[in-house]
Amino acid sequence: MSLKIALQTIPLILLALLVIAILIPACAQNPNTQARVSEYKQTLRKTSSGSSSSTAGLDAFTEFLQKIGDKEYVRDNTAKVYAPDAYLNDTLVTHHGPEKIKAYFLETADTMSAYELTIDDIASSGNEHYVRWTMIFTAPRLNGGKPIESVGMSHVRLNSAGQVTMHQDFWDSGTNIYGQIPVVGGVIETIRRRFEK
């Protein structure tokens, strides 16, 4: 094989390997989906759905959401807002307990250069609290460093001390996080367009 042919062939082989490396995991079943739903339902059974009229606890939680980008605030307040046995699933990851939740939010804050969250609405039924929000954040590695806007909702339960025992987020992390990653975002957009047809 001549050097010229080899130089022309190697990039094509590498491109083919990259496409295979992306498509194989994308086509594989995701066994974590069922496990995540099961864990959420198990957490619902374990945490109280009784009445908790802790307005202060809900206020502390919404303030915390609005200040996730402030690392000092997160360090000082996570253990005040989240109960010792707290459950958090933000559609990307699941964490238990304030120390792991704090570490996760500190890591998240490190990836962002700007963060703003607006509380759009709160609905409560007994100890079931639903906080609807709009988030705008900037992360240098996503969307070319331009702001990303997302809407979502947090389902929250509080204990008798007003601390969060269960925090489950519902938002489109696929589009707003994974969809901003080069190549992966294009694949997600192609799939989305196919479903729209």
Phi, psi of 55 (to 5 degrees): -65, -35
Q: Are strands 164-171 and 82-89 parallel, antiparallel or unpaired?
A: parallel
Which of 168, 152, 154 has its CA nearest to residue 86?
168
Residue ranges of the domains in the chain? 53-196
Amino acid in position 99: E
8 A C-beta contact, residue 122 and residue 156: no
pLDDT above 90 for 129 = yes
pLDDT tens digits for range 31-69: 567 777 777 778 778 876 655 557 899 999 999 999 999
Amino acid in position 115: Y
Phi, psi of 159 (to 5 degrees): -90, 180
Percent of the chain with pLDDT over 70: 69
Which of 109, 92, 107, 104 has its CA nearest to residue 172?
92
Predicted structure pTM score: 0.71
Percent of the chain with pLDDT over 90: 49
Strand partners of residue 138:
114
- 6 vs 151: CA distance, rounded Å: 49
> Which CATH number is 53-196's, of 3.10.450.50, 3.30.1330.90, 3.40.630.10, 3.30.365.10?
3.10.450.50
Phi, psi of 160 (to 5 degrees): -65, -20
- 133 vs 150: CA distance, rounded Å: 8
Q: Extract the tokens encoding 16.
A: 């083919």
